[in-house]
Each structure stands twice: as C-alpha cells, then as structure tokens.
Amino acid sequence: MNQPYDVMTREEIEASWKKQNQNKEENKMEQNQTNWMQTELNEAKQNTNLTGDRKEALKIEDKQMVEVDINFSKPFDKWIDPNNTKTIRKIIPVRCNGKDMNFWLNPANPIYREILEAGQKGQTHFKIMRTGIAKATRYVLVK
C-alpha cells in the first residue's frame, strides 16, 4: 500500500524552514527579555544593603539653598553600589520643610566632613547650597 504524500515545492520547504527559524528566534528574544528582567529583579531584591527607613531623597536644585535639620542620634547608614564597590554614599537623615528625607552624600565630599565636625560641636541646623551639575556639583554650607 502506498501512502499519499504531500508534495512541497522547494520554495514551500524553504518558507517552512524560514518560518520555523523565525519562531525559534522570536522565542529566543522572548527568553532573553525574560532573562534580563529576571536578572534585574534579582539584583533589585539583593540590593537591600540599605538599612533604616526608605525616605524620599533630598533634592537640591542648582543655585538653590535649603535649610535642614540633621539627625545625629545614630550613625549614618551606608550604601555601596553592588556594581561598583568604589561608589559609596552616606545616607544622612534630614528634616526639610517639616518632611523627613534622606540626603545621599559621597563621604569623600568635603561637605561631609564639615557636617560631621559641626555635628560634634552640637550643631544640627544647616543651610546647604548646591552649585553645578553632574560631576561639577558642589555643596556648600552657608553660615
């Protein structure tokens, strides 16, 4: 007994292979998208090296001065970038305009030392001014 077979032309065969390969590529792209998002989510979950309360960050605009009260009652929390361990920020709890916030500051920034020195002398109220943008950003304590 002979079984009837579907006869496909070369073009139909190539089109079928192309469609199969295209489906494989689409599946691979979906898999990659899922993989990178899962990786990001895992990193976000692991980046819990922040201790304490998560509060809104204090944002100071260029050439703007803000008045803050700094809470020196406990050591400042430290954040280390998991992708670049040289990137360290101290998270300074502040109250600005009646709202509790965090002031993220590089401990290598000269103002960090000035804040600590003034805090040792009992000062808790500060006027901070920011100048510059990005790498040129500078913070100044206004006396």
The residue range of the domain holding 32 is: 9-46
Identify whether 72 is part of a domain.
Answer: yes
Residue 140 in tokens = 């100044």
24: confidence class by pLDDT, cuts 50, 70, 90: confident
Say whether pLDDT at 100 is over 90. Answer: yes
**For residue 8, with 0-12 CB atoms within 10 Å meaning exposed, 13-18 middle and 19 or more buried, which class applies?**
exposed
What total of structural domains would you count in the chain?
A: 2
> What is the SS3 assignment for 87?
coil
- Cα 118 to its chain centre, rounded Å, is 30
Q: Which of 128, 7, 10 is nearest to 58 (CA)?
A: 128
Statement to judge: residues 38 and 80 lie in one domain: no
**What is the pTM for the complete model shown?**
0.62
In-domain check, residue 4: no
